[in-house]
Amino acid sequence: MGLHSCLNGTTLQTPNLSSILTFSSSPRLVFLPLHKPPLPRLIKTLSTSSPIETSSLTTSTFTSKSQNEKGGKPQWKATIDFKWIRDNKDDVAANIRNRNSDADLDLVLNLYDKMFNLQKEVERVRTERNAVASKMKGKLEPTERQRLIEEGKKLKEGLTALEEDLLKLNEELQQEAQRIPNMTHPDVPIGGEDSSTIRKMVGSSPQFSFPVKDHLQLGKELDLFDFDAAAEVSGSKFYYLKNEAVLLEMALLNWTLSEATKRGFTPLTTPEIVRSSVVEKCGFQPRGKNTQVYSIDDSDQCLIGTAEIPVGGLHMDSILADSILPLKYVAFSHCFRTEAGAAGTATRGLYRVHQFSKVEMFIFCRPEESEHYHEELIKIEEDMFSSLGLHFKTLNMASEDLGAPAYCKFDVEAWMPGLERFGEISSTSNCTDYQSRRLGIRYRPSEAQVPSGKKSKGNLAPLQFVHTLNATACAVPRMIICLLENYQQEDGSVLIPEPLRPFMGGLNVIARKS
């Protein structure tokens, strides 16, 4: 999900952009297997494959007549197995509590039962109507035909009313179910952020023989930033990068893209405006009360808070060939976040801003491989940050700190001497099939085909949802903080780490202007 994956902060007011403050429900959704797993593997099954062919009352797409009549766009629907939720309600309820989610499981199950019963009533009335229609095909007395016509008319009117009620109930059920978060990896610590556990500690904090400066002081003395002018032009929490800071940003981006492509990732640049529905499908809240998403007035579009969103939507509503999996992308984009409520010394300067450059890694893979690729992503992050000489720790984040899509999440926090604390510089999440069930991204396993090679439905493996993973390769502002504060020298200059020097035109040091 990338840096500050929870996306929390203040709404920024601009002439053309504003944060939408109301939404009928959170877009969160539980992505559940469509078969009932053995109880010892209950949570684990959310990181394994699940067939697409679903049981009754599993919803995928649904169009409301009332919405169409009003000319509105139908609410998108995700594939949710409500029967699985009902059959495993104790485990789902425990997961909701562990994540401190406000999802209402009892309401979801109540709506599911109502819809199940209403669906049976619709089928009963439809059968009666078909029976009446069949009787009218034969020879009948005029009075009998008239009676059947009247009966058929009443059945038709009753069926129409029932179907409209079913549509409304289905939509309500879908919206409430979308508030249920993904299940959680069994190794995730239960509790708040303080319950997160350290997976790895790398390096040690640098020792200085002179007073340490923070990145704001360094930036002022080396003429690298201008926050005051940016505040006049755009508002608070915007900035200009100047001189070598611009070169450093470009170096970080190009170095990161180079390192990721060496590891088999396909480079992308992405749209930075996306449809609100795609934001929702990826698990973010464009209409939440404390949203971090900038929405564009008089449109259904938003500015992205992370390249995870447009990359996740790249294969939306697609069936991928098994032979091309995994798909690995590394995407550059600018990111925009309202950062509502973000204030204080801990977030000053470049640490929490409204706009920044970021490189994001994203993987679409087979369900049984997602845990392997999650470890691969965190290893890539750790190797890159180690090569820059940073002191950092990798955390297994606790349940209450997970975003709704995440099955599990690892954060990387680096030591920032000027701030005198560790600060988050990266994270990587395994979202299992949470996003793909919303985005409609599936594949058909090739190994399960019948040897005869016939392309009939009966001998092909069932379609399955892919798993998605994301990881921040480089969030530029926080990396600049780390590099300036960790590589500052007594004379006020800042050394450039060796891996970045080829991307800085051979510049080895940022020195004071004469």
Please indicate, yes or no, if residue 53 is contained in any of the structural domains. no
| Domain co-membership, 101 together with 139 | yes
Please indicate, yes or no, if residue 61 is contained in any of the structural domains. no
| Domain co-membership, 376 together with 506 | yes
pLDDT in tens, the chain (514 residues): 444 333 333 333 333 333 322 323 333 333 333 333 333 333 223 333 333 333 334 443 333 333 444 444 447 788 888 888 999 999 999 999 999 999 999 999 999 999 989 999 999 989 888 888 888 887 888 888 888 888 888 988 899 999 999 999 999 998 899 889 999 999 999 999 999 999 999 999 999 999 999 999 999 999 999 999 999 999 999 999 999 999 999 999 999 999 999 999 999 999 999 999 999 999 887 776 778 899 999 999 999 999 999 999 999 999 999 999 999 999 999 999 998 655 556 678 999 999 999 999 999 999 999 999 999 999 999 999 999 999 999 999 999 999 999 999 999 999 999 989 999 999 999 999 999 999 999 999 986 544 555 455 667 889 999 999 999 999 999 999 999 999 999 999 999 999 999 999 889 999 998 7
| Domain co-membership, 427 together with 295 | yes
- The per-residue pLDDT for 514 is 77
Please indicate, yes or no, if residue 68 is contained in any of the structural domains. no
Of 146, 179, 212, at which residue does a domain stop? 179
- The per-residue pLDDT for 139 is 81
Coil vs helix vs strand at 500: helix
- Angle (CA) 88-90-92 rounded to 5° is 70
- The per-residue pLDDT for 130 is 86
User: How is residue 279 written in tokens?
Assistant: 């934001």
Of 179, 212, 234, at which residue does a domain stop? 179
- Give the CB-side neighbour count of residue 271, counting CA atoms within 13 A: 13
Is residue 112 within a helix (H) or strand (E), and if so which, with residue range?
helix 105-135
Q: Is 429 marked within a binding site? A: no
| Domain co-membership, 149 together with 221 | no
CATH code of the domain containing 139? 1.10.287.40
Cα pseudo-dihedral 401, 8, 431, 252, rounded to 10: -110
- The per-residue pLDDT for 452 is 52
Q: Is 356 marked within a binding site? A: yes
Q: Is 354 marked within a binding site? A: yes
Please indicate, yes or no, if residue 54 is contained in any of the structural domains. no
CATH code of the domain containing 278? 3.30.930.10
Q: How far is CA 238 from the centre of its chain?
A: 25
Please indicate, yes or no, if residue 58 is contained in any of the structural domains. no
Of 154, 179, 204, at which residue does a domain stop? 179
* 3-state percent helix, strand, coil for the chain, nearest multiple of 5: 40, 20, 40
Task: Look at strands 408-416 and 392-396 and give their pairing.
Answer: antiparallel
Place of tokens 């902060």: 9
| Domain co-membership, 287 together with 202 | yes
Q: Is 221 marked within a binding site? A: no
- The per-residue pLDDT for 142 is 86
Select from 201, 241, 206, 202 the least CA-distant residue to 495.
206
Select from 128, 127, 114 the least CA-distant residue to 166.
114
Angle, helix 142-177 to helix 105-135, in steps of 10 degrees: 160
Q: Is 337 marked within a binding site? A: yes
| Domain co-membership, 374 together with 274 | yes
Q: Is 292 marked within a binding site? A: no
Quote the pTM value. 0.82
Q: Is 425 marked within a binding site? A: yes
| Domain co-membership, 159 together with 261 | no
| Domain co-membership, 220 together with 174 | no
Number of domains in the chain: 2
| Domain co-membership, 265 together with 379 | yes
Q: For residues 370 and 47, is the Cβ–Cβ distance under 8 A?
A: yes
CA distance 501 to 506: 5
- Residue 299, C-beta contacts closer than 8 angstroms, at least 6 positions apart: none
| Domain co-membership, 240 together with 382 | yes
Put residue 420 in one of left, alpha, beta given phi > 0 → left and psi -120 to 50 → alpha. left
* Domain span at 86: 82-179
Please indicate, yes or no, if residue 361 is contained in any of the structural domains. yes
- The per-residue pLDDT for 377 is 98
| Domain co-membership, 212 together with 330 | yes
Q: Which are the catalytic amino acids?
A: 337, 352, 424, 427, 478
Q: Is 424 marked within a binding site? A: yes
Please indicate, yes or no, if residue 476 is contained in any of the structural domains. yes
Please indicate, yes or no, if residue 47 is contained in any of the structural domains. no
| Domain co-membership, 241 together with 372 | yes
Q: Is 353 marked within a binding site? A: yes
